Amino acid sequence: MIKVGIVGGTGYTGVELLRLLARHPGVRISAITSRSEAGRPVTDLFPNLRGCLDLSFSGPDVKRLGDCDLVFFATPNGTAMQMVPELLETGARVVDLAADFRLGDPDEWAQWYGMPHACPELLDEAVYGLAELNRGLIRNARLVANPGCYPTAVTLGFLPLLETGLVDRWHLIADAKSGVSGAGRKASVGALMGECGESFKAYAAPGHRHLPEIRQTLSRIAGKSVGLTFVPHLVPMIRGIHATLYAGLAEEAGDLQGLFESRYRSEPFVDVLPPGAHPETRSVRGANQCRIAVHRPQGEDTAVVLSVIDNLVKGAAGQAVQNMNLMFGLEETAGLDAIALLP
C-alpha cells in the first residue's frame, strides 16, 4: 500500500483527493493537514466521507509527512515551494496541484505570481504531469507539477494539431469557460450565487495566470514558440470547463477526425467523440475524463476543437491520482473508474 499525505485538505481539490483516495485499492491516507482545522475530524467538514475515512486534520509537520511515500499539495500558490525541498530530502515524492513548479523560468513565475520562487533549483527537475504528453517522465519523477485546469483542457485539444504541424502556430485561440469551483473554496463576493447566477462574463482578458503555462506547454509540443490568445469566462455552474479552440489549418490538413482518434486511441482518459458531436460538461462531471470533438466548419481553413473536463477531477485531483499511479507502477486507471454523474 502507498502511504500518502495531503497538505491543504480543506479546499475543493483537497476533498476531491480524499474522495478518490479513500476508495483507491492501493493507497492508505496517513495525514491530512490544515493549520486552521487541526484536531477536527475530517468528516465534520466533509460529511460525504463519513464511513470512508477516520482521520482528523493535523498541522503540516514535515517529519510526519516525510514518513509518507507520496505527498500531495492542494495548497494556494507559493506554499508547496516552501516545504518541498525538505520533503524530497526525506525520500518522499511530491505531486503539487498548485502552480509552484509548472513554469520553468523563475523570473516568469515571479512576474505572474508576485513573489520570488523559493527553490528555483528544482524547476528543471519537476515533471509537468500531463500523462498524455509526459507519461514516461512521470513514472520516474520524484516531483510532479500537476497541470492547471484550463491548461489541461486547452492542451489536450491542441495537442494532435501541434504535434503534426497542421496549424498556424502563431494564431491559436482558446475561448474557455469554467464553473465557480475553479476559483477555490475561499469566500468571494464574485462567487456568490446572487452575483454570478443568471450571468456570464469574461475575466482576465489582458492576461490570466494560466496563459504562460499553456503557452510554455504548447511551445514544447510544437518545438518552437507559439502565439496564443486565451480568454477565460465564468459561468454559473459549480463544476466543469468547456474550451472552444480555434486554429488556422494548412491546406494539406487531411482527416482531422482520424488524426484525433489515432492520437488518443490508447489514452484511457481522453474520449474523442464521433464526427459532428458537441461534448457537454455534464458528461464528465465527477469523472477523470476529457471529451473532445473536432470540427472543420464549412470545410474551410479553421479547425474548431471542443474540449470538456471536470475542473476538479481531470483538471486537478483526478489527474494528480493518475500521476501517482504512474509514479508507483500501479494501473493508471486505479481509483479513477467512476462514471460521470448525470443529471
Query: Given a cut of 90, is residue 1 above it in pLDDT?
Result: yes
Rounded CA separation 145/101 (Å): 5
How confident is the model over 311-334, as a mean pLDDT?
A: 98
217 with 111, same domain: the answer is no
118 with 170, same domain: the answer is no
Query: Given a cut of 80, is residue 311 above it in pLDDT?
Result: yes
* pLDDT for position 250: 83
**Does 29 map to a domain?**
yes
**Does 117 map to a domain?**
yes
Of 178-187, 245-254, 290-299, minimum mean pLDDT range: 178-187
Rounded CA separation 100/115 (Å): 11
**Does 326 map to a domain?**
no
* pLDDT for position 136: 98
304 with 172, same domain: the answer is yes
* pLDDT for position 251: 76
pLDDT grade for 183, boundaries at 50, 70 and 90: confident
How confident is the model over 56-69, as a mean pLDDT?
A: 94
Domain CATH number, residue 158: 3.30.360.10
Question: Cell numbers 506547454 label which residue?
Answer: 217
| pTM of this prediction exceeds 0.85 | yes
* pLDDT for position 252: 81
115 with 19, same domain: the answer is yes
pLDDT grade for 265, boundaries at 50, 70 and 90: very high
**Does 96 map to a domain?**
yes
How confident is the model over 65-77, as a mean pLDDT?
A: 97
Query: Given a cut of 90, is residue 309 above it in pLDDT?
Result: yes
Q: What are the CB-based long-range contacts (under 8 Å, 24+) for 201-210?
A: 201/233, 201/234, 202/231, 202/232, 202/233, 203/232, 203/233, 203/234, 204/231, 204/232, 205/231, 208/150, 208/232, 209/99, 209/112, 209/113, 210/148, 210/150, 210/151
Structural domain count of the chain: 2
pLDDT grade for 145, boundaries at 50, 70 and 90: very high
Rounded CA separation 146/313 (Å): 12
How confident is the model over 112-129, as a mean pLDDT?
A: 98
Q: Give the Å distances, CA to CA, from 329 to 125, 139, 322.
A: 20, 7, 11
How confident is the model over 81-106, as a mean pLDDT?
A: 98
171 with 248, same domain: the answer is yes
Of 103-112, 178-187, 265-274, minimum mean pLDDT range: 178-187
**Does 215 map to a domain?**
yes
45 with 177, same domain: the answer is no
91 with 211, same domain: the answer is no
- Name the residue range of residue 57's domain: 2-125
**Does 340 map to a domain?**
no
Query: Given a cut of 90, is residue 210 above it in pLDDT?
Result: yes
How confident is the model over 130-139, as a mean pLDDT?
A: 98
**Does 253 map to a domain?**
yes
Last residue of a domain, one of 109, 125, 141: 125
Mean pLDDT (the chain) is: 95
* pLDDT for position 332: 98
191 with 273, same domain: the answer is yes
How confident is the model over 8-26, as a mean pLDDT?
A: 94
**Does 289 map to a domain?**
yes
Q: Give the Å distances, CA to CA, from 314 to 62, 128, 197.
A: 28, 14, 25
Last residue of a domain, one of 125, 160, 177: 125
* pLDDT for position 194: 80
Residues marked active site are found at 149
How confident is the model over 124-148, as a mean pLDDT?
A: 98
Domain CATH number, residue 65: 3.40.50.720
User: Of all residues in the chain, what percent carry a pLDDT higher than 90?
Assistant: 90
219 with 253, same domain: the answer is yes
303 with 184, same domain: the answer is yes
102 with 166, same domain: the answer is no
pLDDT grade for 20, boundaries at 50, 70 and 90: very high
45 with 176, same domain: the answer is no
Pairing between strand 201-202 and 228-234? antiparallel
CB neighbourhood size of 250 (10 A) = 13
